[in-house]
Amino acid sequence: MGIRIVTDSTADLPRELIEELGITVVPLNVHFGDEVYKDQVEISTDEFFHKLQHGDVMPKTSQPSPGDFLEVYRELSAEGDSIISIHISSELSGTHNSAMLAKGMLPEADINVFDTRKVSGGIGLFVIEAARAVEAGKSKEEIMAMLENMQEKVRVIFILDSLEYLEKGGRIGKASAVLGSMLSLKPILTIEEGIVHSKEKARGFKKAKKRMVEMFAETNIATGSDVIILYGESETEDVAEIRDALVATGKTQDILVSRVGAVIGTYSGPGILGLVYREEV
C-alpha cells in the first residue's frame, strides 16, 4: 500500500516533473463557444493562447465532473493505495467540490481532499512538497499535517499586462478597487483568503517586477523549498531577469520556471509574470 498524489491541471506543473514525481492530474475544461477542450489533453498551451488572442470568442472554464474524479480515484485505490487530492481554491472553482463528491461516492477508499486556497504554481508548490514527502516515506497523516502547516505560508504574487481577462472572467475579487486607477500604475496582485487581492501598486511593469523581487528578498524563505516563476504566452527576457535577481538575493538556488496553462491563462491573459514561494513564519 502506498500514497498517491492527485491534483488538477491548474497546478501548472511541467509535464516532466509530473512524470518524475508520479503525480496524477485531472484536467479542467476550457470552452470556446460550443467547443470544449480538456486542459493540457485536448488543447495545448500554444493552441490556447493563439485562440485567445486571434479568435472571436472569449473562453470560459469549468471544473472536472465528479465522475472524472471518481474514475481516477477508483483506479488509484484499486490496490489499496491512499489518495491525497490537492486542488485550486474552492473560492475560485468548483473543482474541490467535484473531488469531494467523488470521494463520497467511494466510501471504501482512503481519500483526503485538500483545498490549497491558491492557484497555479501556488497549488503546484503543495503538490511538489507532498510528492517528495511520499518519496521520503512520510505517512499520510504527516503529509496532511505538513499541507495544513503550509496553508498560511505559501505566497503567490503576480503582475499582469492587463486586468481585462481577470475582470471579464469574474475572478478579479478584491483587486477590483484598482481598476479605475490603472493608467500607468501596475498592481502587484496576490491570492489571499482564496481570492485575488491587490497587494501594492508600482509605476510601470519594470518597477512592479523589481518590487516583486524586493518582496521576496524581505521574506524569510523556507529552507529547501522550491521557488516558482510563472509566465504566460512566452518566456520573455523578464523571466531570465527575475530568475537572476532571485538568485542574487542569496535566498534560493532551487528555482522552477513554469508556464501557466489554458485555465489560468483564461483569467490572466498572455502577459503574466508571477512568483510562488514558501516563507517560514
Q: Per-residue pLDDT tens, the chain, 281 aa: give them.
A: 799 999 999 999 999 999 999 999 999 999 999 999 999 999 999 999 999 988 888 899 999 999 999 999 999 999 889 999 999 999 999 999 999 999 999 999 999 999 999 999 999 999 999 999 999 999 999 999 999 999 999 999 999 887 777 767 655 554 554 554 555 678 899 998 898 888 888 888 899 999 999 999 999 988 878 899 999 988 889 999 999 999 999 888 789 999 999 999 998 899 999 999 999 86
| DSSP track, 100-123 | HHHHHH-TTS-EEEEE-S--THHH
Number of neighbours of residue 33 by Cβ within 10 angstroms: 11
Q: Which pLDDT value is given to residue 183?
A: 56
Q: Which pLDDT value is given to residue 99?
A: 98
**Nearest 5°: phi and psi at 269?**
80, 180
Q: Which pLDDT value is given to residue 180?
A: 47
Q: Which domains does the chain have, with CATH numbers?
A: 3-28+63-150 (3.40.50.10170), 154-278 (3.30.1180.10)
Give the DSSP H or E segment for 54. Answer: helix 45-54
Contact 241/273 with Cβ under 8 angstroms?
no
Give rounded-to-5 percent helix, strand, coil for the chain. 40, 25, 30
Bridge-based pairing of strands 35-38 and 60-62 is: unpaired
Q: Which pLDDT value is given to residue 186?
A: 83
Give the DSSP H or E segment for 198. Answer: strand 195-203
Q: How far apart are CA 60 and CA 75, in angstroms?
A: 29
**CB burial readout 108-123, b (16+ within 10 A) else e:** ebebbbbbbbbbbbbb
Q: Which pLDDT value is given to residue 177?
A: 47
**Nearest 5°: phi and psi at 176?**
-60, -25
Name the strands in the sheet holding 60-62, side by side, starting at the edge strand that comes first in the sequence: 35-38, 29-32, 60-62
DSSP, collapsed to helix, strand or coil, labels residue 246 as helix
DSSP, collapsed to helix, strand or coil, labels residue 128 as helix
What does R_g of the chain's alpha carbons equal in angstroms? Answer: 18
Angle at 192 between CA 152 and CA 227, to 5 degrees: 60
Sign, CA torsion 198/200/201/202: negative
